[in-house]
């Protein structure tokens, strides 16, 4: 393989690894307020109750 092929391959691998590292580092930076988390849990419970009622109806 010519030198330019190796350079292209190395650059591609470095870009993928760099993106994965950045993604890992930013994964826990999105903090959710307790109020919003409570709202999410409440909505999830409502949806599960609707699905359960719908399954029982069929």
Q: How far is CA 27 from each of CA 5, 6, 19, 21, 38, rounded to the nearest angstrom?
A: 33, 32, 12, 10, 21
Model confidence, pTM? 0.49
- pLDDT tens sequence across 3-48: 999 999 999 999 999 999 999 988 777 788 889 999 999 999 999 9
Q: Which residue has the tokens 């330019």?
A: 4
* Average pLDDT across the chain, whole number: 90
Calculate mean pLDDT across residues 44-57: 88
Q: How far is CA 5 from each of CA 9, 17, 19, 25, rounded to the nearest angstrom?
A: 6, 18, 21, 30
């Amino acid at each position: 393989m010519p030198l330019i092929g190796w350079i292209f391959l190395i650059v591609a691998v470095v870009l993928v690894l760099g993106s994965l590292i950045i993604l890992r580092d930013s994964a826990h930076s999105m903090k959710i307020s307790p109020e919003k988390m409570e709202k999410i849990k409440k909505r999830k419970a409502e949806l599960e109750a609707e699905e359960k009622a719908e399954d029982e109806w069929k």
